[in-house]
Amino acid sequence: MAKRGFGFSAKDNGCSSVTEEVAVLAREDGHQVFTALEGLAMVRYENLGFPIGTPPNWRGMMNFNSPTDDDKKLPPFDAAAFLNKTQPDIIVTGLGSPINIQRQIAEEATRRGIPLVVCEDFWSKIPGHLDAAKVKPALILTVDDYSIALNRKAFPGVGQRVVGNPGAKEVPVPSEVEAQVKKIRDEGFDTIYVFAGGGASATNELALLLQCLEKTPGNYCIVPRFHPKVMTWKVPGENRTYGELWTEYLKPFAERVRYVEAKSTDPVAVSESADVLVSGFSTLMTTAAYHGKRVICLKTEETMASLKAHGEHYTEIPQVALGLASVVDEPTDLSLLGKPSADALRKLIPYDANLAWEHIQTLL
């Protein structure tokens, strides 16, 4: 097989999870790999030995909300210039949220007739991120048949292949994290609820959770896991941060609230001693279900607004639609909600980079 040039574009952890291993496989097969990266994807690709930002590769900002002085000096991404310099035979891109350079490179590849592979890390991201009038993928690599059905409405003539869900993954739990959660269990709590909250919608989700717990019997414990960056943001119209607001919400439950020190929420949620993950919508819900945990979706108007910010085509939170998570939209006794069924879990397919690479090679 003649060796080809590949252009890879990614932004965040989601993008990287479905593109970086494919980039490695392309490199191992002797193909030339060029990258246009930004955000957390830069660190991940660099750790895999890719020359981030070395011409003709392009690098962008790491932190879009708080750019450094060096970041501010970076020229804006020019998709046409990048493709002129690299002359790739195929473009492989993820879909960052919010999307930046991935949309530009997808549109420019379409204008030039360069085969475009779009890699999804969550159900049906493409309709909300790319304009079907401007982007014609040669191939969409997605998570399951449910996602294919959603995508088909906006991109009816595009070939799609299931390569699995990056959220269905094994998560190593550091001993120090497991010890902390077990210590909480040893206090005598019969149920440990891990709450994962991110953006502004977390306020209403947390309020709904606390109303539910007032109706829930037993000696339960709440382990809040708020996004550290969002905790520092000021609440609109108020002289306090979201972290301060959420702490105020939890005060009436102080005897039942415990905190765990961990770099991320994944190992806390899947630790042996944790029982239930409660959240609005997140990839972590998928991971917790994959690890056999009870998963509860806190569905508020704000939750659905946050989901629809990724695309108006969503009518339901995917994990709920697939039976991976129970859903509550009003105060409910949470002890009545069980684990995902075996049938639902069988639909959860772990991501397979080798399969993704096999599908991409059909375009060569």
Of all residues in the chain, the percent with pLDDT exceeding 90 is 85
Q: Please report, rounded to a whole number, the percentage of residues in the chain having pLDDT higher than 70.
A: 100
How much is the mean pLDDT over the chain? Answer: 94
* 314 backbone dihedrals φ, ψ, rounded to 5°: -75, 130
Strand partners, 230: none
Residue 198: what pLDDT? 79
What's the per-residue H, E or C state across 116-130? EEEECCCCCCHHHHC
pLDDT band at 1 (very low <50, low <70, confident <90, very high): low
Least confident segment among 140-154, 209-223, 297-311: 297-311
Report which DSSP code applies to 13.
Answer: H
Binned at pLDDT 50, 70 and 90, residue 114 comes out as: very high
Position with higher pLDDT, 230 vs 20: 20
Q: Answer whether 0.85 is exceeded by the pTM.
A: yes
Taking the C-alpha atoms of residue 348 and residue 168, their distance in angstroms, rounded to an integer, is 7
pLDDT, mean of residues 39-47: 96
The H-assigned helical ranges of the chain are 13-17, 20-28, 40-47, 69-72, 79-86, 101-112, 126-129, 145-154, 175-185, 202-214, 228-231, 242-250, 266-270, 283-290, 301-308, 318-321, 342-346, 353-361
How far apart CA 310 and CA 126 sit, in angstroms, is 9
pLDDT band at 343 (very low <50, low <70, confident <90, very high): very high
pLDDT 10s digits, 125-145: 999 999 999 999 999 999 999
State pLDDT tens for residues 270-289: 999 999 999 998 999 999 99
Query: Quick one: pLDDT at residue 144?
Result: 97
Q: What confidence tier does 357 reach under pLDDT thresholds 50, 70, 90?
A: very high
3-state secondary structure of 12: coil
What the block records as the tokens of 209 is: 């959770």
Tell me the C-alpha distance between 338 and 160, whole Å.
33
Instruction: Please answer whether residues 95 and 125 qualify as being in contact, where contact means their C-beta atoms are separated by less than 8 angstroms.
Output: yes
Which residue's entry shows tokens 């959770």?
Answer: 209
What is the tens place of the pLDDT at every residue in 232-244? 888 898 999 988 9
- Is 80 exceeded by the pLDDT of residue 181? yes
Q: What count of residues does the chain have?
A: 364
Q: Is 90 exceeded by the pLDDT of residue 314?
A: yes
Q: Please check the confidence at residue 200 and state whether its pLDDT lies above 80.
A: no
Which domains are present in the chain? 5-167+350-361 (3.40.50.2000), 175-346 (3.40.50)
Give the pLDDT band of residue 353 (cuts 50, 70, 90).
Answer: very high
